[in-house]
Chains A and B, each alone.
Chain A
Amino acid sequence: MTEPTVDAALALEYGLSEEEFVRACEALGRTPNFTELGVFSVMWSEHCSYKSSRVHLSRLPTTGARVIQGPGENAGVVDIGDGWTAVFKMESHNHPSFIEPFQGAATGVGGILRDVFTMGARPVALMDSLRMGAPDHPKTRGLLTGVVAGISAYGNAMGVPTVAGDLQFDSAYNGNILVNAFALGIAKKDKLFFGRASGIGNPILYVGARTGRDGIHGATMASAEFDDESDAKRPTVQVGDPFMQKLLLEACLEIFAADVLEGVQDMGAAGLTSSTVEMAGRAGTGVELDLDCIPRRAKKLAPYEILLSESQERMVMVARAGMEERVLEICRKWDLDACVIGRVTDTGRWVIKATPGYDPLSGDPAPHESAKQVFVDIPVSVLTDDAPKYNRPIADEPRALSKYPLDIASIAYDPRADLLEILASPNVGSRAWIWRQYDHIVRVGTAVRPGAADAAVIRVFCDDSMNGTTPSPREKWLALKSDCNARFCELDPRAGAAMAVAESCRNLACVGAEAIGLTDCLNFGSPKRPEIMAQFAAAIDGMRDACEALGVAIVSGNVSLYNETETPEGSRAILPTPMIGAVGLIEKPADVLTMGFKRVGDLVAILGPHGPGAMGGSEWVWTKTREVKGTPPSIDLQAEARLQRALISLARRGLLASAHDCSEGGLAVALAECSIAGGLGALVRIEEITAGPQAMFGEDPTRVIVSFLPSQLQLIERALADAKVPMRLIGSVVSESLAIEGGPTWTIHEMASAHARALEAVVG
Chain B
Amino acid sequence: MKAVVVQFPGSNADWDAMRALRDVAMIATEFVFHKASSLPSGTDLVVLPGGFSFGDYLRCGAIARFSPIIAAVRQHAERGGFVLGICNGFQILTEANMLPGALTRNTHLRFECRDIHVRVDAEGPFTAGLAASVLRLPIAHAEGRYHADEETLAMLERERRVAFRYVRDNPNGSLNDIAGIYGGPRRNVLGLMPHPERACEPALGSADGRQLLSSITKSILAR
B72-113 interface (Cβ within 8 A of A): 110-113
B100-153 interface (Cβ within 8 A of A): 110-114, 138, 140
Given contacts A246-B52, A589-B203, contact A442 B18 (CB under 8 A): no
Residues of chain A within 8 A (CB-CB) of B22 are 471-472
The 8 A CB mask of A437-466 against B (1 = contact, 0 = none) is 111111111110100000000010100000
Confirm or deny: A250 has a beta carbon within 8 angstroms of a beta carbon on chain B.
yes
Tell me how far the C-beta of A477 lies from the nearest C-beta in chain B, rounded to whole angstroms: 9
Give complex CA distance A441, B136 in Å.
14
> Which residue of the partner chain, among A247, A335, A442, A461, contacts B12 with CB atoms under 8 Å?
A442
Give complex CA distance A153, B51 in Å.
12
Q: Decide if B204 touches A250 in the complex (CB within 8 Å).
A: no
Q: Decide if A156 touches B140 in the complex (CB within 8 Å).
A: yes
Give complex CA distance A449, B203 in Å.
11
Residues of chain A within 8 A (CB-CB) of B19 are 444, 461
Residue of A nearest to B112 (CB): A436
Q: Decide if A439 touches B111 in the complex (CB within 8 Å).
A: yes
A403-424 interface (Cβ within 8 A of B): none
Tell me how far the C-beta of A470 lies from the nearest C-beta in chain B, rounded to whole angstroms: 10
> Which residue of the partner chain, among A241, A333, A440, contacts B55 with CB atoms under 8 Å?
A241
Confirm or deny: B157 has a beta carbon within 8 angstroms of a beta carbon on chain A.
no
Confirm or deny: B20 has a beta carbon within 8 angstroms of a beta carbon on chain A.
yes
Confirm or deny: B13 has a beta carbon within 8 angstroms of a beta carbon on chain A.
yes
Residue of A nearest to B20 (CB): A444
Residues of chain A within 8 A (CB-CB) of B18 are 468-469
Residues of chain A within 8 A (CB-CB) of B50 are 442
Given contacts A449-B205, A469-B31, contact A436 B13 (CB under 8 A): no
Q: Decide if A243 touches B15 in the complex (CB within 8 Å).
A: no
Q: Decide if B12 touches A441 in the complex (CB within 8 Å).
A: no
User: How many residue pairs, one in A and one in B, have C-beta atoms under 8 Å apart?
Assistant: 99
Confirm or deny: B44 has a beta carbon within 8 angstroms of a beta carbon on chain A.
no
Confirm or deny: B68 has a beta carbon within 8 angstroms of a beta carbon on chain A.
no
Give complex CA distance A68, B113 in Å.
35
Q: Decide if B12 touches A158 in the complex (CB within 8 Å).
A: yes
Q: Decide if A437 touches B113 in the complex (CB within 8 Å).
A: yes
Give complex CA distance A242, B181 in Å.
30
Q: Decide if A437 touches B112 in the complex (CB within 8 Å).
A: yes
The 8 A CB mask of B192-216 against A (1 = contact, 0 = none) is 0001011011011100000000000
**Using a Cβ–Cβ cut-off of 8 Å, how many residues does chain B contribute to the interface with A?**
38
**Using a Cβ–Cβ cut-off of 8 Å, how many residues does chain A contribute to the interface with B?**
39
A319-339 interface (Cβ within 8 A of B): 333-335
Residue of B nearest to A336 (CB): B9
Confirm or deny: A394 has a beta carbon within 8 angstroms of a beta carbon on chain B.
no
Tell me how far the C-beta of B1 lies from the nearest C-beta in chain A, rounded to whole angstroms: 15
Q: Decide if A468 touches B31 in the complex (CB within 8 Å).
A: yes
Q: Decide if B113 touches A438 in the complex (CB within 8 Å).
A: yes
Give complex CA distance A436, B142 in Å.
11
Residue of B nearest to A157 (CB): B52
Q: Decide if B14 touches A468 in the complex (CB within 8 Å).
A: yes
Confirm or deny: B177 has a beta carbon within 8 angstroms of a beta carbon on chain A.
no
Residue of A nearest to B109 (CB): A149
Give complex CA distance A152, B138 in Å.
17
> Which residue of the partner chain, among B14, B20, B52, B203, contacts A447 with CB atoms under 8 Å?
B203
Q: Decide if B51 touches A159 in the complex (CB within 8 Å).
A: yes
Given contacts A243-B54, A472-B23, contact A437 B12 (CB under 8 A): no
The 8 A CB mask of A214-252 against B (1 = contact, 0 = none) is 000000000000000000000000000111101100100
Q: Decide if B198 touches A159 in the complex (CB within 8 Å).
A: no
The 8 A CB mask of B23-53 against A (1 = contact, 0 = none) is 1000000110001000000000000001110
Confirm or deny: B10 has a beta carbon within 8 angstroms of a beta carbon on chain A.
yes
Give complex CA distance A281, B36 in Å.
43
Give complex CA distance A447, B110 in Å.
24
Residue of A nearest to B195 (CB): A441
Give complex CA distance A467, B7 in Å.
11
Residues of chain B within 8 A (CB-CB) of A437 are 110-113
Q: Decide if A152 touches B111 in the complex (CB within 8 Å).
A: yes
Residues of chain B within 8 A (CB-CB) of A244 are 55
Residue of B nearest to A241 (CB): B55
Residues of chain A within 8 A (CB-CB) of B57 are 243
A155-173 interface (Cβ within 8 A of B): 156-159
Tell me how far the C-beta of A331 lies from the nearest C-beta in chain B, rounded to whole angstroms: 12
Q: Decide if A334 touches B9 in the complex (CB within 8 Å).
A: yes
Give complex CA distance A442, B56 in Å.
17
The 8 A CB mask of A680-720 against B (1 = contact, 0 = none) is 00000000000000000000000000000000000000000
Q: Decide if A157 touches B113 in the complex (CB within 8 Å).
A: no
Q: Decide if B204 touches A157 in the complex (CB within 8 Å).
A: no
Q: Decide if B55 touches A441 in the complex (CB within 8 Å).
A: no
Tell me how far the C-beta of A145 lies from the nearest C-beta in chain B, rounded to whole angstroms: 10
Q: Decide if A441 touches B138 in the complex (CB within 8 Å).
A: yes
Residue of A nearest to B19 (CB): A444
For the complex of A and B, 3 pairs with smallest distance between CB atoms: A159-B12, A243-B55, A468-B15
Residues on B lying within 8 angstroms of A by beta carbon are 9-16, 18-20, 22-23, 30-31, 35, 50-52, 54-57, 110-114, 138, 140, 195, 197-198, 200-201, 203-205
Given contacts A152-B110, A469-B18, 19 further A-B contacts (CB under 8 A): A156-B111, A156-B140, A243-B52, A243-B56, A246-B12, A438-B111, A439-B113, A440-B113, A441-B138, A442-B12, A443-B12, A443-B15, A444-B19, A447-B204, A467-B31, A468-B15, A471-B22, A471-B23, A472-B23
Q: List 17 A-B contacts (CB under 8 A).
A: A149-B110, A156-B111, A157-B12, A157-B52, A247-B9, A436-B110, A436-B114, A439-B140, A441-B195, A442-B12, A443-B12, A444-B19, A446-B204, A447-B203, A459-B203, A469-B30, A472-B23
